[in-house]
Structure 1
Amino acid sequence: WIHIKQSLPDPLCVPFPHMYLISVFLASILIIPFGLKTLFPYVWMDILYFGDLLRILVKFVSRRRRRPSFFVLDRFLEQTAAHPDKPFILFENENYSYTDTDKWSNKTANALQSHPGYKPGDTVALFMGNEPAFLFTWLALAKLGSPVALLNHNIRTKSLLHCFNCCKANVLIAASELKEAVEDVLPSLIEKGVTILLMTKHCDTPGIESFSDKLDKASDTPLPRFLRSHIAYKSPAVYIYTSGTTGLPKAAVVNQNRLLTALAALSSNGVTSSDVIYLNLPLYHTAGFIIGFIGSIEAGSTIILKRKFSASQFWDDCRKYNVTVVQYIGEVMRYLCSTPKTENDKDHKVRLAIGNGVRAEIWREFVNRFGDIQIREFYASTEGNVGFVNYAGKIGAIGRVHFFHQKLFPFTLIKYDTERDEPIRDANGLCVESPKGDTGLLVSKITDIAPFVGYAQNEDQTERKRLRNVLKKGDLYFNSGDLMRIDKDNFIYFQDRVGDTFRWKGENVATNEVSDILTISDCLKEANVYGVQVPGHEGRIGMAAVTVKEGAQFDGSRIYHHVVNYLPSYARPRFIRIQNAVEVTGTFKQMKVKLVEESFDPGRIQDPLYILDDKEKSYIPLRSQVYSSIISGNIKL
């Protein structure tokens, strides 16, 4: 120490200007980070996020350069070799390690390969609920080089046939409990020469073959790689169907390249091999399959697989299996917040919830009730070419945008005419960008990095999603169909689906906003808001299909004062329809089409109907004579 001290210059001997510069330099090192934090509060988060993006990009590029080609299946095989005995899938009383999963997929692949109705590379439709066989079969088909159509197990007859035909599948593999649904469309499938395999050991229906008995006898030896040598990055990997809230479902094509990028879905959000993932969303949907299953393959995590979401079992399962990461979509969090409170609400190991569609007030309620859980809200669509992640944790936002994101995935918000249901264009025929803070339609430029593949066997719907001449003549953008808003801090917020916004009294009404207001009232549990047409009136007037909280009664006066306090006159629902349950799709999206068609006609609706009455300062029952007066124009709304 004495030697070091002697070698240092005496501070008193250092010239004053030098001392001043040294002091300024040292002070700057300390002050600059605090200054940046004050002036740009999210700068460090932005830097860390960009670092994550860079790491993901480098890993993706290195995998793309590997020979032979590297796909999701190869990552699963790497994980199996790295920790063969680690539990991969826990389902009810069953436990499958990575090796068990690999062997079961081998048995499935070998049983399929020996079947005369199938050859490697054939497209196969999977009609099955959440169970290990779903995952085994997908991995088996990946080993055989076959694209897989993930059919919604809730669809029937016309929709089922439509979805099956979209992907031009040669084989249908169905769960045993879906036998009747298959039998309903059997003549059409037989006519097309489709091979139908049922996950049962015996089947006496002509045209349907049992498959479980073949699985039991099949070998679990690995499949030769040449069976999938024809696969390229642009080859379809899976077909995932849209929910079909406005018509028959569309089959979005997810190619091998897109699936490879999807490997980062969980690991990019800090999920590691030590995490336990609670997968209770449908495997036929993007969230369950790509984020829950494919994401877990990359991270090397353990999956707790559930047949379906259950609010009453959710936290008990999390405690039982030491779950650390959960998924949510749509109304899942609200369902959880609606369960009766218990003393052990915060007694669990869940640290991260990843998903989309959580409303700001539910976000706050969820965290306050269930503990310090990081909410990682994101925005993406199955077929879309742009996405956002709310890595900063700003309540209510779906993500944050910045320079690097804009360069990689060029997008913009454009002005949209909700009444004409089309973008607003200027005198040159180009779209008009929305100013910051204003709501606009999200459109994303179609590029090599951000492609839009489209829908299988549906060029018309594919073309509808393409928007041309957006910012300059000849450019091409993907039309998300979603209305967004970007605030002064560059956080982006989902406002509504284009079809879910209506115009009344010259004003745009966002159904999500009205729904949020209704459900924070004392007596309403759920609210599905939509616009209905009224003869003699421009636009659409607001209506809500609602459910009442258990033990409560609909109080027209209190609801009236609630909406008057929170909503401008044009946004207040003029009609309220009381339902026992709000109809939703398999991914908890509210169904509106049928409700819009039935409108507010007491002659068509058996449910209790109410109309807002400003004189009574209440919602009062809607009588037939009042309805007739509205339709005839004697009563103006």
Structure 2
Amino acid sequence: MVSLTSALALISAGLYLDGRVRLSRDLAFAIPGLKTKLWFEKQLIPNNDVSLYNRFDDQVQIRPYAIALVFENQSYTWKGLEIASNKMAHWYQAQGIQPKDRVAMFMTNSPLFIISWLALLKIKAVAAFINNQISGPVLIHSLKTANAQLLVFDHELIEVLYESIEGIREMGYRLFTLTPKEQVLAFDEQRKEDGRFYEFMEWRQCSAEGYSRDTRRDVVIGDAVALIYTSGTTGFPKAAVMDHGRCTLATSVWAGICKITEKDRTYDCLPLYHSAGGTWISGSTVVLSRKFSTSSFWNEVRDQDVTMIQYIGELCRYLIHAPEDPRDKNHKVRLMFGNGMRPDVWRKFQQRFGVETVFESYTMSEATSALFNLTSGDDGAGAVGTFQQGLRIVKVDLDTEELIKDKNGYCIECDYGETGELITLADNKTSQTRYIGYYNQPKLSNAKLIQNAFEEGDQYMRTGDLLYRTKDHFWYFADRAGDTFRWKGENVSTAEVADTLGHVDGITSCTVYGVTIPGKDGRAGMAAIVLKDEYWEIPIKQKKEIEKSIRLINERAVQEFVDRLGRHAAKRLPPYAIPRFIRICEGELEITGTFKNKKVELRKEGFDLSKVRERLYWWTPQGYQRFGARENEVILAGRARL
């Protein structure tokens, strides 16, 4: 499966072919891009055949009884999924769902997620993929944004819904569970007294009659296939509109670049509310996992003869920190694809697990373009892509996050090696650069746009991400604009610092952020670090009245680690970028569904001893030393040498 957020700029054939750029790499992108562009514009559009569901139907006609999906050792054919989705589509229509109506899906990974989405696509309705990790006000906000008629959900999420049921009812939602009735009744006895607040989605008894392609001839490229919410690392999630045109183009070019065929088997353990079926183009098999698990990941990959794996965020970091296994390279994986793999993990992962090729991409749900990097060695390892037309890196004031303009009021493009904000062409003059923005949030959508960026009449979208490019035309992710901070008059990239610290043995995960120091300008760096298990003794229980357990730290081992960390930071980082504080976390860092660290609470707590109960260290001329009440008094008195 490929993320629906992969909007492909390369189909406009904006390539930079000269002696300094690898011709074979460009051609690997260009040929699939040009083929798809011709197929889309010369065949699909003239024949009113742009519906993404039709790509699934193509495979049903070609290979009806081939395996399309594997989930928990059960296989589903293309024809089987079609019949199931026909029944569910009839059920949706019986509930009054019409074309362009929205249905909120609050579900975990399972075949039912895919069947529900297929059912909505074939009747031209729109699924709103609600993050199954959210609750309370964030859940209410997401449902309010979707403004749907129905909310369908997995029964295992019932408690989250129960906590917010009054707010959900006020919005007029009807609630249905997709979990079979007989299974639900075995676990829902406790709510009989209060009355059940949902109905059962009894779709299996509905007609299996199919839907003619003619019923989708009025689907156009801008019609929505789904609402996909941003991960919400800060603030409430926003719903990005993914449309038929962009999704068809993205999945087709992805399949072409990666040379995917019906013989491939793709392993996907990422949340389906952020991903969707690129295999509908290639006809390959998806091996779907309920969720990511470090301990079971490679066993499932081996057992299912997987040839490709999808990654995102810190997934690869978790895997390389798992205990080594003699079978680490015993698999059939030829390629991994995704986004967010940091440079300090990239080559370690390839070398340990023997995965030859990486297809890294950079994109955003709402962006009009993307970057891509297909590499099999050191050349380009760590880069998010190479040059693409319609993308610019421009100068930005990191304190105010305002774009820096020249004397004529135009943006200033960054030089090689200079970090700036990435902006993408959003002129709506071609199908590839259309800007759709966020659903039901026009102010937020317009706030992302800048007019007259380089000339009168042009329009670009601000990504809020900081990148830089090198003279060999590789582009690298630096940081989120809001995460980069200033200290000692210099700009500090949290991603760069985290990558550097990530090379220190003993770290399982690490996130870096800036904290305010009384009487000091800017923000000082702070790193929250999760150590490997060998740094902890056997957990013990506190007093009986305190239920949670605490972990006893191995004092000698941790002191050795902190000393080593200090030496590494002093050697590898500029003085101003060395984190002034270290927080040793007793548990895992809180992450989003796409494995992005949530820094907001960590940043709020800072080094406040009334809020932070975990062990802290601070930077001194002798390296990292324990931080406590006395050291805090020195900072508050303005005597600290930070």
Give the TM-score normalised by the residue count of structure 1. 0.88
Q: Which residue of 1 aligns with 2:199?
A: 209
Indicate the SS of the match to 1:500.
coil
Q: Which residue of 1 aligns with 2:607?
A: 600
Q: Distance in 1 between matches of 2:357 and 2:37?
A: 25
Q: Distance in 2 between matches of 1:68 and 1:463?
A: 30
Q: Which residue of 1 aligns with 2:449?
A: 466
Indicate the SS of the match to 1:196.
strand
Does 1:275 find its partner at 2:281?
A: no
1:71 maps to which of 51, 65, 75: 51
Q: Which residue of 1 aligns with 2:315?
A: 332
Q: Is the 8 A contact 1:558 1:618 kept in 2?
A: no
Deviation at 1:186, TM superposition (A): 2.0
1:346 maps to which of 324, 329, 334: 329
Q: Is the 8 A contact 2:50 2:220 kept in 1?
A: no
Letter in 2 for 1:222: G
Q: Which residue of 1 aligns with 2:10?
A: none
Does 1:418 find its partner at 2:398?
A: yes
Letter in 2 for 1:462: S
Largest Rg, 1 or 2:
1
Which residues of 2 match residues 443-454 of structure 1 at below 5 A? Answer: 443-447=423-427, 448=430, 449-454=432-437
Does 1:586 find its partner at 2:576?
A: no
Q: Deviations over 1:583-626 (max 9, x none)?
A: 11110101111111111111211111111111xx1312212232
Q: In structure 2, list runs of 5 or more residues that go unmatched.
A: 1-16, 186-191, 536-556
Letter in 2 for 1:476: Q
Indicate the SS of the match to 2:221.
coil
Q: Distance in 2 between matches of 1:197 and 1:397?
A: 44
Indicate the SS of the match to 1:253.
strand
Deviation at 1:512, TM superposition (A): 1.3
The structure where helix makes up a greater share of residues is 1
Q: How many residues align?
A: 584
Q: Distance in 2 between matches of 1:346 and 1:468?
A: 51
Q: Is the 8 A contact 1:63 1:70 kept in 2?
A: no
Letter in 2 for 1:176: H
Deviation at 1:230, TM superposition (A): 5.1
Indicate the SS of the match to 1:233.
coil
Q: Deviations over 1:78-105 (max 9, x none)?
A: 1001101001111113211000000110
1:626 maps to which of 614, 622, 631: 631
Q: Which residue of 2 aligns with 1:478?
A: 461
CA 1:179–1:38: 2 relative to 1, 3 Å: closer
Letter in 2 for 1:441: E
Does 1:223 find its partner at 2:211?
A: yes
Give the TM-score normalised by the residue count of structure 2. 0.88
CA 1:476–1:38: 2 relative to 1, 3 Å: closer
Q: Distance in 2 between matches of 1:417 and 1:225?
A: 51
Does 1:363 find its partner at 2:346?
A: yes
Q: Which residue of 1 aligns with 2:553?
A: none
Indicate the SS of the match to 1:576.
strand
Deviation at 1:428, TM superposition (A): 2.5
Q: Distance in 2 between matches of 1:38 and 1:262?
A: 26
Q: Which residue of 1 aligns with 2:246?
A: 258
Q: Distance in 2 between matches of 1:119 and 1:207?
A: 24
Identical positions, percent? 36
Deviation at 1:225, TM superposition (A): 5.0
Q: Distance in 2 between matches of 1:91 and 1:372?
A: 23
Letter in 2 for 1:129: T
Q: Deviations over 1:94-141 (max 9, x none)?
A: 2110000001101111122223x5445421011101000000000001
Indicate the SS of the match to 1:561.
helix
Q: Distance in 2 between matches of 1:450 and 1:550?
A: 48
Does 1:109 find its partner at 2:110?
A: no
Deviation at 1:189, TM superposition (A): 2.6
Does 1:611 find its partner at 2:596?
A: no
Deviation at 1:58, TM superposition (A): 1.1
Q: Is the 8 A contact 1:110 1:218 kept in 2?
A: yes
Q: Distance in 2 between matches of 1:581 and 1:550?
A: 11
Q: Is the 8 A contact 2:64 2:78 kept in 1?
A: yes
CA 1:225–1:392: 2 relative to 1, 3 Å: closer
Q: Which residue of 2 aligns with 1:572?
A: 578
Does 1:397 find its partner at 2:363?
A: no
Q: Is the 8 A contact 1:603 1:624 kept in 2?
A: no
Letter in 1 for 2:584: I
Which residues of 2 match residues 285-296 of structure 1 at below 5 A? Answer: 285=274, 288-289=275-276, 293=277, 295-296=278-279
Q: Deviations over 1:337-378 (max 9, x none)?
A: 111111111111100000111122311111111114211111
Indicate the SS of the match to 1:149.
strand
CA 1:119–1:472: 2 relative to 1, 3 Å: closer
Q: Which residue of 2 aligns with 1:245?
A: 233
Compare 228-237 and 84-93 and name the one that shifted more. 228-237
Deviation at 1:260, TM superposition (A): 1.9
Q: Deviations over 1:314-359 (max 9, x none)?
A: 1111111110010111111111111111111111110000011112
CA RMSD of aligned residues (A): 1.9
Deviation at 1:40, TM superposition (A): 4.0
Greater RCO (CA < 8 Å, at least 6 residues apart): 2
Q: Distance in 2 between matches of 1:577 and 1:372?
A: 34
Letter in 2 for 1:586: G
Deviation at 1:68, TM superposition (A): 3.5
Q: In structure 1, list runs of 5 or more residues that go unmatched.
A: 1-36
Q: Distance in 1 between matches of 2:589 and 2:166?
A: 35
Q: Distance in 2 between matches of 1:372 and 1:209?
A: 47
Q: Which residue of 1 aligns with 2:273?
A: 284
Does 1:554 find its partner at 2:543?
A: no
Q: Distance in 2 between matches of 1:125 and 1:545?
A: 36
CA 1:588–1:223: 2 relative to 1, 3 Å: same
